[in-house]
Structure 1
């Protein structure tokens, strides 16, 4: 009697031969339909572009699906003197990918437009402006978005990657995400310059805490003050790293993080950084979300590198995603 291994081998051989035959027939039919009477590589050109179009369509479909399911309101901290030198370039680049984009300044500008918080300008006014801005979006946009992202006017954001991160979370739960620093409180807080995001539930809790004076103007250092309020409310900073434990929010230019040795060992960054990180190419996730201190030149460079530049034939070296969060975000 024929052994099981020989039988399996014969079945495998027959299956493989049938597969090759079917592929050959399909290839000949495609060649006949799209490249008959040509000997100049037209068929290869056709197949390449078909595969390229399938990849583009899959990426476009995912981005569009997320844009409907993960509604983000982005509000940008700015100032009257920065509208044309900084905020303008947010509008022209990444800001247009938010579901709602608002600019919060100390005074109204109906042409730009910017919403005035009736505050002064300068670093000592940042947290007051932040408190008023979150109260404003709560009053006027609560039902039009599920996530509320704060950025500076020199922050660059890859909004699609932010949406993918947020898609792992429930906006009806209190969620607080961004670049996590370790100082000043047990669970740390999120860097203001890299941008941070509150879920709808976290925003509701924050505004309620301001109204009942559970949270108030404790310090002019905006990101620390907001972190202290989140801590009082029991909203623990979430982990925005990808499945490989690589970070996605960054408080400096890309080159500061990507170039080995750029950030010296004595830099405050290493003391503040909540997670162990490296300086060099392995610093940053393929799903990086934000960088800070980006002038207009850097904004346009990031826009080109992210959405236009392609290397022919290059395939992603690894598949990257965000993990499903645990019940708590320790």
Structure 2
């Protein structure tokens, strides 16, 4: 049976001749509309002028081929949609960095300045203390934005318990105070652990004057957003546009005028979408996610269950930037593993050095 023109075996006469005619030009690789199946479902009706056994066999064969190929077309389409579900942005590979001159490396390492925003509430006081004593020291500057005043810790007091309002106020204050001092803005929750040096490495050669923000992207209907659990990074251009759209209550309402309430990370995406800022899923040079919304422990357990033959490779990127869901004690353990534990006798020949800010002991 030929791949093309086989449908022309159907009769053109009679009231159903239009059905045959509409599909005679179709090829088997094309998506055949459902109404064609209705046409061929009743060979006795379509072949009203002949009840030939051979014509019935022919029509039945055509029907089977169409259904089979239709299934392949749908599966193929679904696979392509899966691979293009998100925008992707990757970290540089080692060769890219090694090809830079020493002066270029030094200039790059000094040009990436990260301001860290940690949103906290009094109930988070244990995590608050852990973040203050661990990874936040490695930001060029880190500040805690609290829902209310807490005497034992310094914080920017926002006077609200609503997470979207907290995030909104924190970004607004940040832009007003630091728009000329930093080019990248990292927001995290108190249960997040971040390796700031890996974030800076990821941002090498990324242009902060471009309108995008990065993290672990998710989809909710047509809305693509960065999941706040893994941390959110805005370029200075994104923050600039966000600060402007804050003034438009129709596009970016402070409380929202919906029957249902969006989470703060989704609401942020809605506001940014109006400004042309897109969410980018951050990956290493091998395509693995670097912003993680779960802890190392949880990711390893998942890898052991699904890929026991490659637990570590199946778990996490070597250049991971964040993990989430850590207890205060686990943050200190992570700090030990990331910054203190070293195999004696090994040397590290990274092309770039990101020194912690003055006053940090680098743990």
TM-score (norm 1): 0.66
Deviation (angstroms), 1:131: 0.5
Q: Distance in 2 between matches of 1:71 and 1:62?
A: 16
| Counterpart in the other structure of 1:113 | 154
Which segments of 5 or more consecutive residues in structure 2 lack a partner in the other structure? 1-102, 352-363
Measured against aligned partners, the alpha-carbon deviations of 1:95-143 in whole angstroms (never above 9, x if no partner) come to 01101111011123465101111113xxxx1111100110010111111
Residue of structure 2 in register with 1:70 after alignment: 112
Matched, 1:156 2:156: no
2:220 corresponds to 1:183? yes
Check 1:251–1:130 CA distance in 2 against 1; reply closer, same or farther (3 A cut): same
Task: State the alpha-carbon separation in 1 of the partners of residues 222 and 146 from structure 2.
Answer: 29
Distance 1:311 1:132 in 2: 44
SS at match of 1:107: coil
- Cα deviation digits, residues 142-201 of structure 1 (max 9, x gap): 112111110001100000000111223111111200111122335x21111110110110
The structure with the larger Rg is 2
Distance, in Å, in 1 between the alignment partners of 2:327 and 2:187 is 18
Change beyond 3 A, Cα 1:207–1:279: farther
Separation (CA, whole Å) in 1 of partners of 2:217 and 2:245: 22
Offset, 1:285: 1.3
How many residues are matched? Answer: 240
Paired residue for 2:317? 285
- Gaps of at least 5 residues in structure 1 are 1-60, 265-277, 320-330
Cα displacement (A) at 1:311: 2.8
- Counterparts of 2:239 and 2:305, CA distance in 1: 34
- Measured at CA, do residues 256 and 65 of structure 1 come closer, stay the same or move farther in structure 2, by a change above 3 Å? farther
Change over 3 Å in CA distance of 1:261–1:245 after alignment to 2: closer
Q: Distance in 1 between matches of 2:267 and 2:132?
A: 28
Cα deviation, residue 221, structure 1: 0.7
Q: 1:245, CA displacement in angstroms?
A: 0.3
> In 2, are the aligned partners of 1:70 and 1:147 still within 8 Å (CA)?
yes
Structure 1 CA distance, aligned partners of 2:216 and 2:234?
A: 13
Structure 1 residues 225 and 295 mapped into 2: Cα distance closer, same or farther (>3 Å)? same
5 Å matches for 1:1-330? 68-83=110-125, 85-109=126-150, 111-120=152-161, 125-186=162-223, 188-213=224-249, 214-216=251-253, 217-218=255-256, 219-260=261-302, 281-312=313-344
